[in-house]
Amino acid sequence: MDAAHGRAYVCKPMNPPYDPANPSSPDVRRRAFRLLFLCLIATSIGNSMLFAILPPLARELEVDEIFVGAIYTLSALLFLIMSPVWGALSDRHGRRPLIVFGLSAFAGSCLVFAAGAWAGQVGLLPPMAAIIAMALARSIFGGLGSATNPSAQAYVADRTEPSQRTRALSSLTAAFGLGTVIGPALAGFFSHRIGISTFMVLVAIMVGIAAVCVRLFLPEQTPPQKKGRPINPLVQFRFAGDPRLTAFMIYGCAMWMAQAASLQSLSFYIMDRLGMDAAGGLQLGSIALTMGAAGLIFAQLVVIPVLNTSPRVLMIIGAVMVVLGNATMIFAPNYVVIVIGYMFNSFGFGLARSGFTAGASLAVEPEEQGRAAGLTTATAGVGFMIAPITGLWLYQSVAPAAPFELNASLAVIGCALALLHPRVRETTAALVPNVEDTPPA
């Protein structure tokens, strides 16, 4: 049902029917998707804990907020450039090798980050050198670890019919939200017990084990395509200009910009609004990030299956919720209301992300799934690359509420795009999934 016009749509697959021999049996798909779900949780834990750890760590090292943004910026730029490349390479070489490579690179980046943070805390490196070391670690993730997400997303798209895809992809991307719950909670619990560096080493070990499990247990039946010309990142980005994808890419960039700015600014916002020190800010920031991630998980694992609606409707509702969430944070009189606003924001982003990811996948052909997945993944890179300006710079130079005001404006633009753009309307007619065949995460 199209919520904007009250019309029911007949399911019209945007892609040719998938080959039943390729996805294997439903049981095999369920096991494979669950393994990918657990692997993405592991990487999300390592990512999300940084949003709780870095603000207090920056205060401990006595560096400005803008330098924390620098840690994200280079990583986000490389993530933006390389995600489409890895997605296209997964079309050529298969999904599993690229997933294993990305997980291994992420584990390595955690070890480098742990070393840089430890050296800065004990005085072996001056604060700015420690920041540079941590930025290098994040760059390893952005450039090499970015192979995991588009390859995993394309793996799921290979093995689902169009009617199943929104639900299957939302279950997979919910791993991001679940890891975002676990990461800050673990960071807040362990930071004063075993230390940040030790915790990062444990995350590296966990992700390394995940890479081994994928290599040994993830079935790979997608035949690699014939090798062609070397993959050019600029060529991959031109694919974003394909009329089938452009609206989804613009929407995704807007929503990721809003989400990234919120993630980077939230802990600073809480510390300054409440007059907290670094230790108190770590605890309260971790709780707020955890509650927001819980809202995202609820959206993707509970609300989306219950709504059973089109990607377009998810995009519209998600954008409206992001507007409400940021408005709540702007006018919040206390910590509890700040947390409630951030939960609304994250709940809306959970709907929005599943909507534009599934819409882009439905818009292209089976042989283009890796390229499309790379581009939708790259929208996160756009968000985190720009967030130090739209988030931390605005926070420091204009006003603490300025990032959230901009986030609300971006969500309004996204809502208008989902409501009015003809390609979004055409591509995302409601699809009714086959519940029996849809492999749960």
User: Distance (Å, rounded) from C-alpha 376 to C-alpha 326?
Assistant: 23
Q: Report pLDDT digits (tens) over 64-74.
A: 766 776 777 77
State the average pLDDT over residues 315-332: 95
pLDDT at 12: 39
pLDDT at 65 (0 to 100) = 65
**Per-residue 3-state assignment (H helix, E strand, C coil) for the chain:** CECCCCECCCCCCCCCCCCCCCCCCHHHHHHHHHHHHHHHHHHHHHHHHHHHHHHHHHHHHCCCHHHHHHHHHHHHHHHHHHHHHHHHHHHHHCHHHHHHHHHHHHHHHHHHHHHHHHHHHHCCCCHHHHHHHHHHHHHHHHHCHHHHHHHHHHHHHHCCCHHHHHHHHHHHHHHHHHHHHHHHHHHHHHCCCCCHHHHHHHHHHHHHHHHHHHHHHCCCCCCCCCCCCCCCHHHHHHHHHCCCCHHHHHHHHHHHHHHHHHHHHHHHHHHHHHCCCHHHHHHHHHHHHHHHHHHHHHHHHHHHHHHCCCHHHHHHHHHHHHHHHHHHHHCCCCHHHHHHHHHHHHHHHHHHHHHHHHHHHHHCCHHHHHHHHHHHHHHHHHHHHHHHHHHHHHHHHCCCCHHHHHHHHHHHHHHHHHHHCHHHHHHCCCCCCCCCCCCCC
Residue 6 has a pLDDT of: 40
Q: What is the pTM of this model?
A: 0.72
pLDDT over 60 at 431, yes or no = no
pLDDT in tens, 270-303: 888 887 776 677 678 878 887 888 888 899 888 9
CA angle (12, 13, 19) in 5-degree steps: 145
pLDDT at 13 over 60: no
Find where tokens 């079935």 sit: 219
Angle at alpha carbon of residue 79, lines to 196 and 367, rounded to 5°: 130
pLDDT at residue 334 greater than cutoff 70: yes
pLDDT band for position 14 (50/70/90)?
Answer: very low
**All residues at 6 or more sequence positions from 333 whose CB lies less than 8 Å from its CB, including other chains:** none
Mean per-residue pLDDT of the chain? 81
Mean pLDDT in residue range 246-264: 91
Please compute the mean of the pLDDT values over residues 393-400 and round it to a whole number. 86
Confidence of residue 365 (pLDDT cuts 50, 70, 90): confident
pLDDT score of 248 more than 70: yes
Pick 115 or 436 by higher pLDDT: 115
At residue 230, the pLDDT reads: 54
pLDDT digits (tens, 9 = 90+) for 94-122: 899 999 999 999 999 999 988 988 888 88
CB 397 within 8 A of CB 105: no
- Evaluate if residue 436 carries a pLDDT over 50: no
- Separation CA 317–CA 414 (nearest Å): 10
Q: How confident is the model at residue 364 (pLDDT cuts 50, 70, 90)?
A: confident
Measured CA to CA, the distance from residue 24 to residue 18 in angstroms comes to: 11
Q: What is the mean predicted confidence (pLDDT) over 404-432? A: 84
Q: Tell me which residue has tokens 């709907």.
A: 351
Predicted local distance difference test score (pLDDT) of residue 103: 95
Of 73-82, 141-150, 189-198, 335-344, least confident by mean pLDDT is 189-198
Residue 224: predicted pLDDT: 54
Q: What is the pLDDT of residue 233?
A: 64
Task: Specify the amino acid at residue 165.
Answer: R
Q: In this model, does residue 322 exceed pLDDT 50? A: yes
pLDDT at 25 over 80: no
Does residue 441 register a pLDDT over 50?
no
Distance CA 243, CA 420 (A): 15
Question: For 67-94, how does the pLDDT look when each residue is reduced to its tens digit (9 = 90+)?
Answer: 776 777 778 788 888 888 898 888 888 8
| pLDDT score, position 222 | 58
Section 402-423 average pLDDT: 93
Checking if the pLDDT of 337 tops 90, the result is yes
Q: What SS3 state is found at 73?
A: helix
pLDDT at 251 over 90: yes
pLDDT at 229 over 50: yes
For residue 345, the model assigns a pLDDT of 95
Judged on CB neighbours under 10 Å (0-12, 13-18, 19+), 7 is exposed
Q: With bands split at pLDDT 50, 70 and 90, how would you rate the model's confidence at 434?
A: very low
Strands (E), 65-109: none
- What pLDDT shows up at residue 192? 67
**Percentage above 70 pLDDT, the chain:** 84
Is 12 exposed, middle or buried, given 0-12, 13-18 or 19+ CB atoms closer than 10 A?
A: exposed
